[in-house]
Amino acid sequence: MTRALALVSGGLDSILAAKLVKDQGIDVIGICFKSAFFSHENAVKMTEQIDIPLKVVDFTEEHFEMVKNPKHGYGKNMNPCIDCHAMMMSYAGRLLEELNADFIITGEVLNQRPMSQNKSALDIVKKESGFEDKILRPLCAKNLEPTKMELEGLVDREKLESISGRSRKRQMELAKAWGIEEYPSPAGGCKLTEPNFSNRLKDLLMHNKDAKPQDVEILRYGRHFRVSERAKVISTREQSEAEIIKPLINKNDYVFIAKDFTGSMVILQGSPEEEDILLAGRICGRYSKGKDQDELEIKYKQNSDKTYNILKVKPAKDEDIVQFLI
């Protein structure tokens, strides 16, 4: 029996592509990737809707190294889509023999994204994957040259689609016809497409050449301030966020808490000097219930220390710190 590996992002397009091929009587296995910037949770939900098995591939380390310096650059934000798609297809290609599969399915649509899904970009992805003759794009197949799979009769080209451009009308029609009712917005699962997160990641990579995937998780939470070339401040927004961040704090990071008022927990990262510590204390004061006090006491220590130091500060005003906000 013919078998295909479908790259499943967790979005609608990839699951529709898998469904188109499955409905030709082909055995389809979903392949989903997880990294520091996206997870497999949506893919689990989507594959359940069309009843195909899912294999999750964790390529966090290799993907993070690529994100630092992608060969084909970034999209609108920090999303290296061409390099990312090629890497995923390369991984999937290496799984073909292991899973006894014949070819790879992807949900890419010609011209849906001007930089990463134009004809030239699609060709680059195929070539650099190393499995150029094994890749089928069912949603836009009729807009492209016939693949080896179509020419050899493994796939019926007439039952594939000719979708092009940014309109989602045809995808919506297919989803309705197949009873696929719950799906995320396009690119909604990738943090690299989000402007705010991308700015924080860019700052991290600029100031920490040895950044690791575990340094990325904390970028999702709190308010971030680049207070100097040597130090960054993170201020939590609420108690639940503080609880999430606590396990992500390194032993050399500083932790700040207002002594007599509830409010934000503040983290100071890097190699801070006295002026950075003072500013972190003032930011802690700003996001505490004591923000209107003339002076208040801030407890602070390195995360690995047992006891706190006391710092007396005048809480910062918004105009004092807005320039540092990332």
Report the chain's terminal Cα–Cα distance, integer Å.
Answer: 53
List the strands of the sheet with 231-235, edge to edge. 223-228, 231-235, 266-270, 254-258, 296-302, 309-313
Report the pLDDT value the prediction gives residue 116, as an integer from 0 to 100. 82
Q: 231-235 and 254-258 as β-strands: parallel, antiparallel, unpaired?
A: unpaired
What is the DSSP secondary structure assignment for residue 37, as one 8-state letter? Answer: S
Angstrom distance (rounded) from CA 93 to CA 152: 19
Q: Letter for the amino acid at 262?
A: T
Angstrom distance (rounded) from CA 254 to CA 301: 5
Report the pLDDT value the prediction gives residue 114, as an integer from 0 to 100. 78
Buried b (16+ CB within 10 A) or exposed e, 236-265: beeeebbebbeebbeeebbbbbbbebebbb
Give average pLDDT by consecutive 10-residue segment, the chain, 326 residues: 95 96 98 95 93 97 96 95 96 97 96 87 94 97 96 97 94 94 76 96 95 94 97 96 94 96 97 97 98 97 96 97 97
Query: Which residues, at least 6 apart from 199, have a Cβ–Cβ distance to it below 8 Å?
Result: 326
Neighbours of 140 (CB within 10 A): 24
User: Which candidate, 300, 276, 270, places its Cα nearest to that of 288?
Assistant: 300
Report the pLDDT value the prediction gives residue 270, as an integer from 0 to 100. 96
- Token pair for 188: 């909604």
Residue intervals of the chain classified under CATH 3.40.50.620 are 3-190
CATH number of 3-190: 3.40.50.620
User: Which candidate, 138, 176, 184, places its Cα nearest to that of 45?
Assistant: 184
Angstrom distance (rounded) from CA 35 to CA 91: 13
User: Which candidate, 285, 301, 303, places its Cα nearest to that of 293?
Assistant: 285
Angstrom distance (rounded) from CA 133 to CA 149: 8
Angstrom distance (rounded) from CA 69 to CA 72: 9
What is the DSSP secondary structure assignment for residue 315, as one 8-state letter? Answer: P
3-state secondary structure of 203: helix
- Token pair for 272: 């801070």
